[in-house]
Amino acid sequence: MQTHTHKIPLRSDVSEEYKWDLNKLFPDDTAWESALRDFEARASTIDAFKGTLGQSPARLREALDCLHDMGLLEERLGYYAHLRVSEDIGDSNAQGRLARYISAATAFSARTSFLTPEIQTIPDDTIEAWLTGDETLEPYRVYLRKLLRYKPHVLSENEERLLAMQTEFSQTPRNGFNALTDVDMQFGDIETDEGRKPLSHASYASFIQHPDRAVRRAAYQRYLAEFDAHKHTLAALYAGSVQHDVYRARVRNFSSSLEAGLFSDDVPTTVYDRLVETVHEYLPVLHRYYTVRQQTLGLDELRLYDVRVPLVHGVKTHYTYEQAVDLIVASLQPLGDEYVRVLRDGLLGSWVDRYENKGKRSGAFSAASYTGDPYILMNYKDDVLNDIFTLAHEAGHSMHSWYSVRNQPFAHYNYTIFVAEVASTFNEQLLARHMLASTSDAALKAYLINKQVDDLLATLFRQTMFAEFERTTHAMVERNEPLTVDSLTSAYRELLTTYFGPAVPLEEHSALEGLRVPHFYSAFYVYKYATGMSAALALYDQVINGGADERDRYLNFLKSGGSKFPLEQLRDAGVDMTRPEPVRTALQRFEGLVDELSALL
């Protein structure tokens, strides 16, 4: 166990047993440097295949094998560089290493840009015969099938070149938003009972959960006031991002920007629309929960700065890292001996960088590559119960990757964002179930149920509200309606009114929240959180209430990696996301938890 003090240790002072072991990627920085030189020297080998891919399946296989080998090396280089920076963001050597990797990877990407257009110029009957007639292209069959889907949306060589040349400056809205919100905006300080404390993006989440309502109100108003001061710039940046999405969709012959955004996952727009419709059916349940909040907090009126504060206080826990692993492993027993054995060995072995050190990246993530371990970054604290759930969450991602790597070739082991949150959410559900069954402490039970309710709210309702806003703003541009401060805030205020209901009055600047969400600069991304949560809960119910067959179907889903499109993967596992039932079942679970929480409180 690490002894925690108020002083944050230097990286060099952290015991090696508490750090991840990157040896499976590279034994040291010197080996990485040598591999980068090798990568740069070998990059030109791909040039020999230009103009020859249509000669024969054997020639195409040679090119793809070359790309495969270079891709494996590039991934190792990239993961090592990123992980070393995460250890200490202030390490200039690590920053330089990452910059040199990005430069080499960008150059190689430009060098291989001919591959996709050239493969798509191979006649349909020819490539189909190659894919079905012999085994030469077997390792790349899924990769090629996915690539060829884009053929109707690929332009001529010169047109594609012009689009490619736009890549860098097309990021201007996103880059401008990041520069404005992360650097230029200054949020000032907030007065607390411990003195004045700085308000920032990171600290806002803490302030808005502060037990003192005056502190919450001050933080909310001060935070949005800064966005109000820059609202015209923010509106112009977001409008530019949406206009670019619509432009790209039209250029590539999609019927809408929504269709274009969902195309890579082969998800029909009806799935998106049905998610919104189904969530709307359960808005009365959400409004009832806000009434429970108001009554529990003893407020005459619930305001937007009251919706995040925990309803249960005074729950104190203390789990060492090793005890947390024991708790997680015990909760995951329904997934079988192999799952828990591998995970225990990884969490107690070399997968996890456990504790905070000076300069270390905040938060947590799972980073799995084909040749390394499925590494996990944590900033674990013994007295923060949520850190156990975070570790279980990231462990779900890591085990998803572990199974995928061992059952899929490199070309399609990487699963999509659409299914990425399933395994992590699944693990959190098992952990909550185990903890609720293992305690008689009414306060802890209420805390755990409150956490589940708020997690479901944030993922099912809030992300769907965001998704609805994205659909609305893109449709406005497609109808040639201007996106201005007034039109954007009006659309967002209408959604806030719909989702929060009549019992939660809005503040003067509440609608400016629609201008502060970074995910909006990656269009039609947020809905996947809601669908992922719904799929995870459906699979969780099947495994808990089923037997070996249901468990094996779930494990086979983890093993499938990126070998199929996400809807097909989930259907094979027993969940049909083209139907409303999985989302409706998740919302019914929310309703049941609200009832249970209300009774406990």
Rounded to a whole number of angstroms, the CA Rg of the chain reads: 25
Nearest residue to 509 via CA among 488, 491, 489: 489
Beta partners for 365?
377
The rounded distance, in Å, linking the Cα atoms of 398 and 375 is 7
Nearest residue to 174 via CA among 542, 519, 544: 519
The rounded distance, in Å, linking the Cα atoms of 215 and 228 is 20
Within 406-526, where are the H helices?
Answer: 417-437, 442-456, 463-478, 485-500
Catalytic residue among 118, 226, 356, 394: 394
The rounded distance, in Å, linking the Cα atoms of 530 and 2 is 37
State the virtual CA torsion across 235, 197, 450, 460 in degrees, nearest 10: 10
Within 332-437, where are the H helices?
Answer: 337-348, 385-405, 417-437
State the virtual CA torsion across 468, 471, 477, 482 in degrees, nearest 10: 10
Within 506-576, where are the H helices?
Answer: 527-545, 548-559, 566-573
* CB-based contacts of 553, cutoff 8 Å, min separation 6: 542, 572, 573, 574
Is residue 507 flagged as an active site residue? no
Cβ contact 373:346 at 8 Å: yes
Structure token digits, residue 457: 């709210």
352-353 and 374-377 strand pairing: parallel
The rounded distance, in Å, linking the Cα atoms of 1 and 15 is 10
Active site amino acids:
394
